[in-house]
Amino acid sequence: MSQQVRAGGRGEAVPFRAPLHRVERRAVLLWVARALAMPLVLGGVLAAVHALWDGARPWTGPALAAVGVLGALYVAVMPPWRYAVHRWEATDEAVYATTGWFVREWRIAPLSRIQTVDTVRGPLEQLLGLSTLVVTTASSRGAIHIGGLAPEVAEEAAERLARITRLTPGDAT
């Protein structure tokens, strides 16, 4: 069964389909680094409480073990799972993105609804040679963030989308 999405005020149908392109494999390292942040901070706090506060020892040991096991499981499962799910594509009709790992989100932005196109590179992304393509639309759901792209791919996609949207009739509101 083929589903379609109506594009803005033009009434043209945009096909609802899975995007073709994967993000860069290096995105897994970005997700691992971000996933490590919470267990390391929480584990550090629990370890300090366990070492420095005598009355806390009965509960901090099991809590520290739980944080370690659950944190390791999260870091081992989430990044590869996200890599398997995350896809993106920019065509002459729309921008497609599939994201998530536990809750999957499929987004389609018809070109007539695109308002701005940007690229963003945070410090960790710069270190790993990655970039995020941000496509702001006239949608209450907000912008589409396509992370984990090579900088040259994100820049080329942003330039191409900006060029095409200038030529695309529509209200973008």
- Terminal CA-CA length for the chain: 30
Q: In CATH, what number is assigned to the domain containing residue 104?
A: 2.30.29.30
16, part of any domain:
no
* Of 9 and 159, more confident: 159
| Total domain count, the chain | 2
Instruction: Please indicate, yes or no, whether the overall pTM of this predicted structure exceeds 0.85.
Output: no
Q: What percent of the chain has pLDDT over 70?
A: 87
CA neighbor of 102 nearest in space, from 132, 74, 71: 74
Is residue 25 assigned to a domain?
no
Distance between CA atoms of residues 7 and 18, nearest Å: 17
**Residue 108 sits in the same domain as residue 170:** yes
Tell me, yes or no, whether 95 and 68 share the same domain.
no
CB 23 within 8 A of CB 146: yes
pLDDT of residue 9: 44
How far apart (Å, rounded) are the C-alpha atoms in residues 100 and 34? 14
Q: Which of 133, 155, 157 is nearest to 145 (CA)?
A: 133
Amino acid letter, residue 75: V
Q: Which residue has the higher pLDDT, 112 or 68?
A: 68
Q: What is the pLDDT of residues 73-122, one digit of tens each?
A: 999 999 999 999 999 999 988 899 999 888 889 999 888 889 999 999 99
Under the banding of pLDDT at 50, 70 and 90, the label for residue 2 is very low
**Which pLDDT value is given to residue 49?**
85
Residues 50 and 113 in one domain: no
Mean pLDDT of the chain: 86
- Among residues 155, 125, 137, which one has the least CA distance to residue 29? 125
What does the chain come to in residues? 173
**Position 24 in a domain:** no
| pLDDT for the residue 13 | 65
Does 10 fall in a domain?
A: no
Q: Over range 13-36, report the average pLDDT.
A: 89
